[in-house]
Homo-oligomer: A and B are copies of this chain.
Amino acid sequence: MKTTTVTLGHGSGGRQSAELVRFLVEGFMTRGIGPELEDAALLPGGYAMTVDGFTVMPRKFPGGDLGHLAVCGCANDLAVRGASPDYLGLSLVIEEGFPLDELKDYMESAAATCAAIGMTLAAGDTKVVPAGGVEGVLFSGCAFGKVHSPFPLGIGNLREGDILIVSGPIGRHGAAIASARFSLEVEGLESDCAPLWPAVRPLLSLGGLRCMRDCTRGGLGTVLCEWAEGSGLSIALEEEAIPIELQVQSLCDVLGFDPLYMACEGTLALAVAPEDGQKALSLLKESAIGRNAAVIGQVSGGEPKGMVSMRTSIGGERLVDMPWGELLPRIC
């Protein structure tokens, strides 16, 4: 670690976050009781579990709120490992003086989202801290579900030639939070925050499905960098093919952000064997979140190994690296 204290960059979801996590879990790893560092853990017996903290600010944003986000965040971590969102646990740390009505709004929103995807709130906890102990309220969620994919999905399955697909336009959650944070009203701009399970369920029948990821903090760019690094293969993207809404692009232009690294909360990246590419695309297009799904590139055995390159819309080529430092704190 290059610093002695935690910095906002450690919360970016990019390379520094990965460093922080490796630093913190060292004592577990050396004892042989550490995690595999995927979105959700696959447990013996055919179950998956995940845990996630939610610190989003503002807590109500175009397209969602803290409660909806917490349920989607947890459920989506399960979905991308092929598991159904069966059981949720919610832990709330609340600042003394927080309005009960606002808190209830988030819980109501969480309940509605759970009901829509068949998820049960199995466990919960509330803690209250004196004023200043926490700014408002923090949610942490955990989720547990049955694995429905016939084989384990993960980075280890990636093969040369695999097709890369994204389920919809990227960066909408990050852009919606940024617009709310900086009071930049952008008409039609909404977070993509949504449960992925309904779109994922049919994909699990594809024998060529390799790996899926919920593009959250760090965005699509970070997910693909992790795939390239984790597999040792290279990834070739077509910039023109990556769906980006005009509103998101405009906001990024104004604020100097790269949409590739903007957070999504209901957008899936997936790799699939070439023979199942079209089938995966058409299955996705039938789902509520996947109408604008697109093939954006492929896994290649070429150079540079372990890295992501992108053919830009003007015909050049650039390397896509993990972001360093913090784009926007408290995005999720």
Instruction: Give A contacts to B, CB under 8 Å.
Output: 1, 3-8, 10-11, 17, 20-21, 23-28, 31, 33-35, 40-41, 43, 45, 47, 49-55, 57, 86-87, 89-101, 103-104, 107-108, 110-112, 114-115, 119-130, 132-135, 138, 140-142, 144, 326, 329-330, 332
A311 shortest CB reach to chain B, Å: 34
Question: Can you name the residue of chain B whose Cβ is closest to the Cβ of A4?
Answer: B100
Asked whether A87 lies within 8 Å of B41 as measured between CB atoms, the reply is yes
Q: Which residues of B contact A57 (CB under 8 A)?
A: 133
How far apart are the CA atoms of A133 and B28 in the complex, in Å?
A: 28
With A132-B135, A140-B140 already in contact, the answer to whether A35 and B330 are too (CB < 8 A) is no
Distance, CA A4 to CA B103, complexed state (A): 11
Cross-chain contact of A35 among B98, B124, B138 (Cβ < 8 A): B124
In the complex, are the beta carbons of A98 and B27 less than 8 A apart? no
State the Cβ distance, A291 to closest chain B Cβ, in Å.
28
Q: Give chain B nearest CB distance to A124 CB in angstroms.
A: 6
Q: Ordered nearest first, which 5 A-B pairs have the shortest CB separation?
A: A11-B128, A51-B89, A27-B111, A142-B142, A140-B140
Is B330 a contact of A91 with CB atoms below 8 Å?
Answer: no
A142 to chain B: which residues have CB within 8 Å? 49, 51, 89, 91, 123, 142
- On whether the beta carbons of B135 and A329 are closer than 8 Å, the reply is no
Contact A6 B128 (CB under 8 A): yes
Knowing A11-B129, A27-B112, A107-B24 touch, does A4 contact B34 (C-beta < 8 A)?
no
Is the beta-carbon distance between B129 and A330 smaller than 8 angstroms? yes
Residue pair B96, A7 in contact (C-beta under 8 Å) = yes
A122 near B87 with CB under 8 A, answer: no
Q: A197 → chain B, closest Cβ, in Å?
A: 15
Instruction: Name the one of B45, B99, B126, B329 contacting A4, with C-beta atoms under 8 angstroms.
Output: B99
Instruction: List, in ascending order, chain B residues with CB within 8 A of A129's CB.
Output: 11, 55, 135, 329-330
